[in-house]
Amino acid sequence: MDWQALLLSIKLSCVTVLVLIPCAIWAGRFLAYRQFRGKSWLEALIMVPLVLPPTVIGYYLLVGLGSQSWLGQTLEALLGQQLVFHFSGLVVASVLVNIPFAIQPIQRAFEAVPEEVRDAGACCGMSPAKVLFKIELPLVWPGVLTALVLCFSHVLGEFGVVLMMGGNIAGETKTIAISIYDSVQAFDFAAAGQMSLLLLLFAITALALTTSLSRRLGGVSVSRRR
């Protein structure tokens, strides 16, 4: 078992979720409540990582953020380091790849909050922030939880993008998925089996937990809305 890779994967998942979920709450709410020209295109763009092979995303990120590109050079000058083959680059890649997994469930949850309830909040004198924290967030909680678990699990098992963007640097960019691949290449099937089993158990537990919590919390929310 490659504990270093496992810890790095967990760290990457945590950082990705911390960066992504607050942004997804903002974006999901915006997309749920606002109608504007080009909304369908924006929603389609958000969904692109779902259908695009991760290696393709990884390739574009590698080329786009590498030291040969204008953007890569600018970011290197600003941050003092390269994004590619570095943990920060993995975070950028994971955030981008997981955008649909984060925004979709949260957007659907906000769409289910009745307009009348939000209107009543405003007419009760609540500020928009108070309406968000006191009324909307308690109602969209199942959607946020689903997004959180989906993103965390997805990042934990991400392979293609991570390999393209970060390579395979132990302690820096070598995640558990890459470690499994390495183990198989080295015919260390025992280690690969252990790590795969761990990921499998985690995936099943996470999904079971999300489904059960969503059903419980979602059930309460839906019955409360009736």
Please choose, out of 126-134, 158-166, 184-192, 201-209, the segment that lies near another protein by the rule CB under 8 A: 126-134
To the nearest 10 degrees (0 to 180), the angle between helices 87-111 and 39-51 is 130
CA dihedral 69, 71, 73, 74 (to 10 degrees): 160
- For position 6 contacting another protein by CB under 8 A, the verdict is no
Under 8 Å CB-to-CB from 194, ≥6 apart: which residues?
1
Residues in contact with another protein, shown as a per-residue x/- string from 174 to 203 under the rule CB under 8 A: ------------------------------
Q: Does 225 bind another protein (CB under 8 A)?
A: yes
- Rounded distance, CA 126 to CA 134, Å? 9
Q: Is 123 in the site for another protein (CB under 8 A)?
A: yes
Alpha carbons 147 and 59: distance in angstroms, whole number = 26
Count interface residues toward another protein (CB under 8 A).
21
Nearer to another protein, 118 or 154 (CB): 118
Q: Which residue has the tokens 């890649």?
A: 93
d(CA 169, CA 114): 49
Nearest approach, Cβ of residue 12 and another protein (Å): 34
Quote the longest CA-to-CA distance of the chain.
66
Instruction: Establish if 221 lies at the interface with another protein (CB under 8 A).
Output: yes
Q: Is 93 exposed, middle or buried (0-12, 13-18, 19+ CB in 10 A)?
A: buried
Q: Is 134 in the site for another protein (CB under 8 A)?
A: yes
Stretch that binds another protein, among 39-47, 119-127, 167-175, 198-206 (CB under 8 A): 119-127
143 touches another protein (CB under 8 A): no
Task: Pick between residue 39 and residue 225 the one whose CB is nearest to another protein.
Answer: 225
Residues contributing to the site for another protein (CB under 8 A): 114, 116-117, 119-127, 134-135, 138-139, 221, 223-226
